[in-house]
Amino acid sequence: MISVNVKWGKEVVVAEVAPGDSPAKFMEQLEAKTGVPVARMKLMARGAWRGVLKADMSLAALKEGQNVTLMGTAETLVAPAVATKFLEDMGEAEAAATGLVLPAGFANLGNTCYMNSTLQCLKAVPELRAGLDALAAKRPGAGDVPGALAETYRALDASTKPVEPARFVATLRAAFPQFAQRGRGGGFAQQDAEELYSTLLANLAAALTDAPPRGAANVVDGLFGLELEETLTCAESDAEPPVTRSDVARKLVCNIQGGTAGANVNHLAEGLKLALAGSLDKRSDALGRDATWAKTSRVSKLSPYLCVQFMRFYWKATPDSADHAGVKCKIMRPVSFNLALDVFDFCAPPLQAAIKANRDKYGAKVDAAALAAADAAARGEAAAAPATDAMDEGGDDDDDLKAALALSGVYELFAVVTHKGRSADGGHYMGWVKQDGDKWLVFDDDLVSESDAEFVKNLKGGGDEHMSYLQFYRAKSGGN
């Protein structure tokens, strides 16, 4: 049995749905609560069914706490069988659960914006939340990082006011002292959001080992783990055979020119291509000495989620300084990106062949349901509707089409961590998380506001305003 929030005009009605309930039974329950006759009802729920609910549809995709919109007028102006509760009459946890008010933000506990923004973005990955909750249920009160994170997310879910993540911060700093470093003034120093992301996911990967998806070793790699195939080719001798090895990466990197002479990067795809190629010095048995090897990396297995780091910070040597310690610098160069990312060009040939076979087989359907839908997100739900229509016409091929979409190689942007300021060791981080249509939420520590996709597309850098540093994508699939 699950509870859903049915918004009818300005009212919110809570309805119960049991496994196997039919649309007719659901509508009869709502008629008793609202007085709206079944014949007049129009019910819509994004992601649960397409368009208006019909008698032959299923309610199986409804989720706990999901918002359902009811349109229709009551037969007579009589009191509903179950009293309607208004937002102002609800407790804080109850109001937060409706999804009709802005979610809570995190209080800044002293240069913790790097953490606040990253946690808000990761909170938008439901499978990660499910893994944390399952682990917390097995180990209630656990004092480690996964336990503290699960508790912190639950506090956010139950609040409409800023939450102080004090326990998580203390647990994180105890486990990883680098996040407890202090600045010259004695306060806690600003940290790198990417370092937190990588450190946190490594810690969660070690803990979340039950029922990982895709046959992975843990939940984290089942969600974020890309398999990369790296090939080393000796640039100085054809007699040296290539060396190939595979590894799992939890992010891709977008290189940006900065501090050295190199290719100018203007778009995300250019930076990704640059980061997947390089060179190194390595022993050559054929030459009997160290030689230069060309390194090429390609994606050999896709992941449901993809993190991209814009390499905006780099270390610059200062040989003329008193301590020769060097300085951390920030690259301000603008790098544009789209709301959809096609990774086909970055994949290894066998994976490209599989993706191409899917695209060739389904042709316009894959294009409409995956690529066009992701691009149309910037224009809102109505613009994305034709792509959904293309999938609904699949008939008996629907399961095959969903499998093809899962291997489409197209990802949709759903969260961004931005950095503002010219100082790599200072500045301010914020989180941006996609909602329905072209709506986004901006998490500026404890301040939460609304934005839109067009504004997010302008987070490309080039000035003193916020610019994209970490981007989170999810694979486009049949149900999204």
pLDDT in tens, 85-117: 555 655 655 555 655 679 999 999 999 999 999
Half-sphere exposure of 71 (CA within 13 A, CB side): 7
Q: How far apart are CA 255 and CA 273, in angstroms?
A: 8
**Quick one: pLDDT at residue 113?**
98
Phi and psi at 16, nearest 5°, equal -105, 135
| Residue type for position 174 | A
Q: How far apart are CA 88 and CA 272, in angstroms?
A: 49
The contacts of residue 356 (CB under 8 Å, 6+ apart) are 344
For residue 12, being part of any structural domain is answered with yes
Q: What is the rounded end-to-end Cα distance, in angstroms, of the chain? A: 24
**Quick one: pLDDT at residue 377?**
43
Residue 46, domain extent: 2-71
Q: Which long-range contacts (CB under 8 A, 24 or more apart) does 377-384 make?
A: 377/339, 377/340, 377/412, 377/434, 377/437, 377/438, 377/453, 378/339, 378/438, 378/453, 378/454, 378/457, 379/438, 380/437, 380/438, 381/46, 381/436, 381/437, 384/437
Nearest 5 degrees, angle CA 79-CA 84-CA 87? 145
Question: For this structure, is 428 an active site residue?
Answer: yes
234, 307, 428, 466: the active-site residue:
428
**Quick one: pLDDT at residue 322?**
65
The contacts of residue 351 (CB under 8 Å, 6+ apart) are 298, 299, 300, 301, 302
Q: How far apart are CA 282 and CA 429, in angstroms?
A: 39
- Helix (H, G, I), strand (E, B), or coil: what is residue 107? coil
Are 417 and 431 spatial neighbours (Cβ–Cβ below 8 Å)? Answer: yes
The residue among 249, 3, 226, 218 whose CA lies nearest residue 131 is: 218
Question: For this structure, is 254 an active site residue?
Answer: no
**Quick one: pLDDT at residue 46?**
86
Domain total in the chain: 1
H-only helix segments in 208-363: 219-224, 268-275, 349-362
For residue 67, being part of any structural domain is answered with yes
Beta bridge partners, 151, equal: none
**Quick one: pLDDT at residue 224?**
97
Phi and psi at 83, nearest 5°, equal -60, 135
Q: How far apart are CA 167 and CA 164, in angstroms?
A: 8
Q: How far apart are CA 274 and CA 429, in angstroms?
A: 26
Class of residue 435 by CB neighbours under 10 A (exposed 0-12, middle 13-18, buried 19+): middle
Structure tokens at 399: 């399961």
For residue 45, being part of any structural domain is answered with yes
For residue 467, being part of any structural domain is answered with no
**Quick one: pLDDT at residue 391?**
40
Structure tokens at 108: 């800044």
User: Which CATH number covers residue 26?
Assistant: 3.10.20.90
For residue 441, being part of any structural domain is answered with no
- Helix (H, G, I), strand (E, B), or coil: what is residue 89? helix
For residue 30, being part of any structural domain is answered with yes
For residue 258, being part of any structural domain is answered with no
Q: Which residues of the chain have pLDDT under 70?
A: 76-100, 258-263, 318-325, 362-407, 477-480
For residue 63, being part of any structural domain is answered with yes
Phi and psi at 478, nearest 5°, equal -60, -35
